[in-house]
Amino acid sequence: MECDKAYDLLIEREYGHLQESVQDELSSHVERCEPCRIEAASLDELASTLDRWRVPNPPPMLAALAVERSLNLPRHASAAEARAARVFAHLGLGLVAAALSMILVAGSVPRLSIPALSLGLIGAVWAAMYGAAFAQALHRVLRMRTIARTALLGAGLVVLAAPVLSIPSVVDACRQLFAGARGSFGLNMLLFVAGGLYTGIPIFVSAAVCGRALETTSVNRGGGHAGVLFAILIAPAVYIQCAALALGLVATWMAGSLLAAVAGPTAGIWVATRIAARQA
């Protein structure tokens, strides 16, 4: 037996892994080889020292302090739990926003012609849309956050204005100005302008308030995206208020509203960035 192999077997013997078949051969080699005998004695002494060594107990005050600190450490949730918590939080915010919007908008319509089941479905879809918008409003990217917050603030202004200035009341006022000329060009133009102002002013104001967080290079892109998201968020409110109106009047109103929804945020963000540039 060579000394290198004998040294490896000595290590295995100290760990208790040595096979009995080589025990006699190793013992006879150690008796004949002086270096291996010295190495075996050193290993035996080291093993004996480790067996006698004991870890001292920490002081009682130090042990109590360590337990107290460990109990007070914040518990970090896993990534899956954190994602689930964020999803439920966004859905909760969307549900609250949709419920408040339904109360304000449905209460502003004097003759509601939508069944209760349909209102429930509209509210569920509205809650999902609000939840997605709130999730985007907390996005890591500044531009995404600003687009969502602009659309949410604009939609909130439209909903808050519904009890005071609902679409049916505005349409009735326009009809009274053109009594006896229901299908006239002047009435259609007035409805077009009224629809544009009805949605254009809120989204313009919200874009002017929130758009200052955007850089000038992203104004045009951000304005169009904010307008699309704003139009999606107010679609249930417009449908609830316009369900009892004539199709021709609704089409004219919607044409002006959609045009203002796209142009309003772009103009508002442009104004906000110009004001910020002058103040800088």
How far from 24 is each of 243, 245, 248, CA to CA, in Å?
Answer: 100, 105, 106
Three-state DSSP state, 99: helix
**Mean pLDDT of residues grouped by 10 in the chain (280 residues)?**
75 72 79 81 76 69 72 61 80 92 88 84 93 88 84 93 89 78 74 91 89 54 81 92 83 90 85 76
Residue 23, amino acid = Q
Query: What does the pLDDT read at residue 128?
Result: 93
C-alpha count within 13 angstroms, C-beta hemisphere, residue 29: 19
Query: What does the pLDDT read at residue 39?
Result: 80
Please enumerate in sequence order all residues whose Cβ is within 8 A of that of 62, keeping only pairs 6 or more positions apart, or say none: none
Query: What does the pLDDT read at residue 222?
Result: 64
Burial classification of residue 140, based on how many CB atoms lie within 10 Å of its CB (0-12 exposed, 13-18 middle, 19 or more buried)? exposed
Q: Which of 4, 23, 9, 11 is nearest to 47 (CA)?
A: 11
Structure tokens of 21?
A: 């078949």
Q: What are phi and psi of 135, to 5 degrees?
A: -65, -40
Q: What is the pTM of this model?
A: 0.65
Rounded CA-CA distance 118/11 in Å is: 80
Helices (H), the chain: 3-15, 23-32, 34-52, 60-72, 79-108, 116-137, 142-161, 167-177, 185-210, 219-242, 247-279
Query: What does the pLDDT read at residue 216?
Result: 45
Query: What does the pLDDT read at residue 102?
Result: 92
